[in-house]
């Protein structure tokens, strides 16, 4: 369980870095669809040698994991596209915290279809994680809903992906859980890359645009590796509670980059804004502790 939690924190760190790298790319080129296609093609390319290293004859078992793989691919691709669209109007430090609402949606869906049952402390952790997202989104005496339709669409797609990942990993035959999780990452990325390959020509993407997208693609692949390990070990709901830490991590990374003079992330904010984000961060930390204790 401890390794699963640590994997979640590692995934949150790389995801927060990926948000910032995506923001920089989109601010310069204003084309989220292009970034998604390039990144997924690069990730698929990175996954080929990794899958060859992990290959074991018969890992496909009874093939029951194929449907969850397809659902995960749909959820991942749709979530990324909606997320990039949201980044046009929402700063990374705020957007990463808004995705804390993902745990509430996932918990509701899981409970509704009988996958999970929660005690009082777990419910408190889930509610606190979601509430922290609203605190993060509060601006000038009101809630800022600009870009929120894209956020909610991303949450729905990510929820589909999260619920499918665990079933896919469980269906793969491998020597260990982490081995199954890594194979799952590679298979999903190869599927997405194959489906998106024609868009390379449809969108007339230039070869010179691949290099600026490479840092994001590499960061996102590492995030996936840790995320799937986390979900396999502690489940998608608890995994998302841990992943709520991406909010404070994104804030820290943003402050560091702003201090270093990087201005393509977001405009400098007043002290009160950072204090409010700090409060939201403490709420997220409390949510993780509550759920962990339960």
Q: Where are the domains of the chain?
A: 2-293
Residue 145 vs residue 217, higher pLDDT: 217
Contact 196/40 with Cβ under 8 angstroms? yes
Judged against a pLDDT cut of 80, whether residue 118 lies above it is answered with no
Query: Which pLDDT score, from 0 to 100, does residue 60 have?
Result: 76
Distance from C-alpha of 189 to C-alpha of 193, rounded to nearest angstrom:
6
pLDDT over threshold 80, residue 100: no
Cβ–Cβ < 8 Å for 186, 125: no
Q: What is the pLDDT of residue 98?
A: 73
- The predicted pLDDT at position 188 comes to 93
Write the pLDDT tens digit of every residue in 41-67. Answer: 999 999 999 999 988 888 777 778 889
Across residues 79-106, what is the average pLDDT? Answer: 76
Gap between the Cα atoms of 254 and 258, Å rounded: 6
Predicted structure pTM score: 0.79
The answer on pLDDT for 218 being more than 90 is yes
pLDDT, mean over the chain: 82
User: Rounded to whole angstroms, how far apart are CA atoms 233 and 41?
Assistant: 28
The pLDDT > 90 percentage for the chain reads: 22
Helix orientation angle between 177-196 and 66-86, rounded to the nearest 10 degrees? 60
What pLDDT score was predicted for residue 145? 64
> Where is average pLDDT lowest: 96-110, 200-214, 263-277?
263-277
For the chain, the residue count is 294
Phi, psi (rounded to 5 degrees) for 173:
-90, 115
Tokens standing for residue 249? 């991590």
How many Å apart are CA 35 and CA 50, to the nearest integer? 23
**Rounded average pLDDT over 204-227:** 91
User: Could you write out the DSSP letters of every residue in 214-271?
Assistant: HHHHHHHHHHHHHHHHHHHHH-HHHHHHHHTTHHHHHHHHHHHHHHTT--SS-----H
Other Cβ atoms within 10 Å of 142 Cβ, number = 8
């Amino acid at each position: 369980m401890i390794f699963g939690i640590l994997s979640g924190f590692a995934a949150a760190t790389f995801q927060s870095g990926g948000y910032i790298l995506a923001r920089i790319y989109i601010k310069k080129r204003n084309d989220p669809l292009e970034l998604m296609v390039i990144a997924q093609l690069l990730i698929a390319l990175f996954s080929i040698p990794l899958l060859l290293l992990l290959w074991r004859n018969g890992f496909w078992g009874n093939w029951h994991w194929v449907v969850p793989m397809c659902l995960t691919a749909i959820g991942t691709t749709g979530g990324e596209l909606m997320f990039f669209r949201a980044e046009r109007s929402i700063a990374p430090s705020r957007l990463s915290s808004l995705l804390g609402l993902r745990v509430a949606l996932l918990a509701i869906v899981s409970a509704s279809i009988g996958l999970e049952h929660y005690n009082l402390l777990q419910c408190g952790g889930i509610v606190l994680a979601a509430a922290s997202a609203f605190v993060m989104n509060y601006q000038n005496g009101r809630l800022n809903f600009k870009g929120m339709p894209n956020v909610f669409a991303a949450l729905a797609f990510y929820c589909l992906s999260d619920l499918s990942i665990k079933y896919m990993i469980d269906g793969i035959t491998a020597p260990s859980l982490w081995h199954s999780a890594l194979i799952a990452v590679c298979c999903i990325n190869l599927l997405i890359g194959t489906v998106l390959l024609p868009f390379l020509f449809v969108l007339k993407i230039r070869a010179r645009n691949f290099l600026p997208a490479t840092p994001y693609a590499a960061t996102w692949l590492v995030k996936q590796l840790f995320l799937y390990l986390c979900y396999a070990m502690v489940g998608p709901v608890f995994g998302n509670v841990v992943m709520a830490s991406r909010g404070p991590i994104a804030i820290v990374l943003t402050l560091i980059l702003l201090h270093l003079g990087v201005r393509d992330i977001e405009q400098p904010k007043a002290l009160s804004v950072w204090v409010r984000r700090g409060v939201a961060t403490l709420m997220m930390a409390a949510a993780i502790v509550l759920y962990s204790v339960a």
